[in-house]
Structure 1
Amino acid sequence: MTDKATHPADTPLYPIREVSRITGVNSVTLRAWERRYGLICPQRTPKGHRLYAREDIDRVERILQWLSRGVPVSQVKELLDQPETAATPEPAAGDWPSQRRRLITAVEALDTAQLESLFNQSLALYPVTTCLTELWQPVIHELEEAWGDQLGALLQRRVLESFLRTRIGTRLYHANQAANGPVILLNPLPDDPGPLWLLLAALASSQAGYRVRLLDTPLPFGELPLAVERFGAAALLLVSGRAERADLVRRLLPRLAEQLDVPLGLCGPMARIRESDLRDSDVALLGDDLPLALARLQPLLR
């Protein structure tokens, strides 16, 4: 692909918002790939608006394939520009381990400026699903394993929760204004020590095109059917990073699923931990990989 894109006059061209819808890559990331790395070269209208051909969209999808294999965005261009007949090389290990280490170090140091930088940089250069899978989910897993009862662990957790609540809340507000998908109601379960997994699930839901209604403190089970009705929700998604108590899992959750007229989904580590207890119930076990959980939810919606 040359530095200046040229296409026949009758080639269909797509604006950036349509390319974002087709590929799932937001417009900020598409512009960063163009400006910083030269990965894509769309045409421009006389007023400077970007227009993408079908081969540009195919190239974006190839970029996503390389990123999913762990290749840093800075190394993707040389792989894309190889001749099609060349053997596909094994990708480098990628820079996700170092990004995860920097993020954990920032949390441990309560360095919100570094948190801000890492959050903005990751979401500007990579799709949300990639950031969740490669960066945020592994970091939350590692932090929760390390925290335990150690001194300062609660402070680290609360600082990270406050940071993500503000940043993800802002993204949800703007995304909800533009989204026209079904409404998803998200609520934590009572034993979850904080909304880390809930916030990540909300981000994944928004990226999947849903309008997100987020309650970040547990609502009593008796009020959840009313909340679903009042919000016009197409599904209720419950989230927890803990196993939760046995009577809630084996008795209350199946009963709640029977009371609802919409799917009741469960995601986060609890969905994996309690899989055997809920396998024969009406509760949809969506797993602890949040982008995959949202993909599993979609076929259940009416």
Structure 2
Amino acid sequence: MSLYSIGEVARICGINPVTLRAWQRRYGLLKPQRTEGGHRLFDDNDLETIRTILGWINRGVPVSQVKGLLEGSITPHPSGWSQLEQKLLSVLQEEKTQKVRQLIIEFGREYPPESLVNNVLRPLRTRLVSNASTLYLRGLLDGVLIEHAVMCMNAARKKAGTKVLLAGWGEIDRTELWLEAIARSSDGLHIDLLPDPLQDPHFEGVQAKLILLWAEGKLTSVQRTRYLHWQQLGLPVSLLGSAAVLLQTPPDEEPDAIIR
């Protein structure tokens, strides 16, 4: 499991480091590890928690109430996107998978695919990973999402579009590939998706006009070298996921050891 500095987490999640410290010290929402020098280190589970917290706050929930939501001791008042999320969760808990399929199709007709993915489907998956007893439901949801992604990709191919290859690189959450396919289904793209992440990809000679490559965490030195090589060759490789965010800015580490 990857470890991230507070600066890296801030870039990945789009949040100020000062806010992360406040969530830890004032509200007890985060419990990062510490280096011998006192620097905070966050793992992938912490990233999931932060995204969940941001999801609640974006729905208008006061940060003071978020801990109760994470622990399940209070019930949120649904509003906006959370109403759709809660509706999906309710039918999923009853294992009415056909109804889940129907709801996602209905939501897809009413909302832009990218908004639906980022504001409903991704937050719901994150919510279902916070408790071991809900992992089964997340598996059911993932199966429905893959089916829906295939439907979206097939529908897109009925119109003129650009040939695109969508793939994963290294250890990733594979369902993110299918969510990305749903999010981009209205962009005029004909997506060919590789369901198994690549460990040693070679894109020289690939006929796609665009290669979307999803990667999570820090790229290794070998991966960084490979990515720069593709750029030098002029290959149309676009990096997605948290790895893309980390690659945009040089790594830094804020000396917060004295801030407890």
TM-score (norm 1): 0.49
Give the one of 218, 236, 244 matched to 2:197: 218
1:254/1:264 Cα in 2 relative to 1: closer, same or farther (>3 Å)? Answer: farther
Could you list the runs of 5+ residues in structure 1 that have no partner in the other structure? 1-69, 71-92, 282-302
2:163/2:191 contact within 8 Å kept: yes
Task: Give per-residue Cα distances to partners, 1:225-273, cap 9 Å, x unaligned.
Answer: 15xx34x112221224x53xx5x4333144134135323222234444x
1:130/1:278 Cα in 2 relative to 1: closer, same or farther (>3 Å)? Answer: closer
Matches within 5 A, 1:135-146: 135-144=120-129, 146=130
The residue type equivalent to 1:256 in the other structure is Y
Rounded to whole Å, the distance in 1 between the matches of 2:111 and 2:101 is 16
Give the one of 97, 102, 110 matched to 2:82: 97
- Please name the residue that 1:279 is paired with: 249
- Please name the residue that 1:202 is paired with: 181
For the residue of structure 2 that corresponds to 1:186, the secondary structure is strand
The residue type equivalent to 2:141 in the other structure is L
The residue type equivalent to 2:222 in the other structure is R
2:159/2:188 contact within 8 Å kept: no
Report how many residues are paired. Answer: 174
For the residue of structure 1 that corresponds to 2:157, the secondary structure is helix
Q: Look at both structures and tell me which one has the larger radius of gyration over its CA atoms.
A: 1
The residue type equivalent to 2:235 in the other structure is V
1:249/1:278 contact within 8 Å kept: no
1:186/1:215 contact within 8 Å kept: yes
Rounded to whole Å, the distance in 2 between the matches of 1:258 and 1:280 is 19
1:125 aligns with 2:105: no
Rounded to whole Å, the distance in 1 between the matches of 2:134 and 2:123 is 21
Rounded to whole Å, the distance in 2 between the matches of 1:151 and 1:120 is 27
Shift, 1:215, TM fit: 0.6
Which structure would you say has the larger RCO, counting Cα contacts within 8 Å and 6 or more residues apart? Answer: 2
- Please name the residue that 2:240 is paired with: 267
1:128/1:120 Cα in 2 relative to 1: closer, same or farther (>3 Å)? Answer: same
The residue type equivalent to 2:164 in the other structure is I
Rounded to whole Å, the distance in 2 between the matches of 1:158 and 1:137 is 13
Question: Percent identity, aligned pairs only?
Answer: 20
1:238/1:265 contact within 8 Å kept: yes
2:167/2:194 contact within 8 Å kept: yes
1:129/1:204 contact within 8 Å kept: yes
1:238 aligns with 2:216: no
- Please name the residue that 2:220 is paired with: 249
Rounded to whole Å, the distance in 2 between the matches of 1:162 and 1:212 is 19
Could you list the runs of 5+ residues in structure 2 that have no partner in the other structure? 1-58, 60-77, 252-260
The residue type equivalent to 2:211 in the other structure is L
Rounded to whole Å, the distance in 2 between the matches of 1:236 and 1:161 is 24
TM-score (norm 2): 0.56
Matches within 5 A, 1:22-101: 95-101=80-86
Rounded to whole Å, the distance in 2 between the matches of 1:97 and 1:257 is 40
1:111/1:253 Cα in 2 relative to 1: closer, same or farther (>3 Å)? Answer: farther
For the residue of structure 1 that corresponds to 2:164, the secondary structure is strand
Task: Give per-residue Cα distances to partners, 1:201-234, cap 9 Å, x unaligned.
Answer: 1122231112211111113424x315xx34x112
Rounded to whole Å, the distance in 2 between the matches of 1:125 and 1:141 is 23
1:178 aligns with 2:159: yes
1:186/1:101 Cα in 2 relative to 1: closer, same or farther (>3 Å)? Answer: same
Matches within 5 A, 1:281-296: none
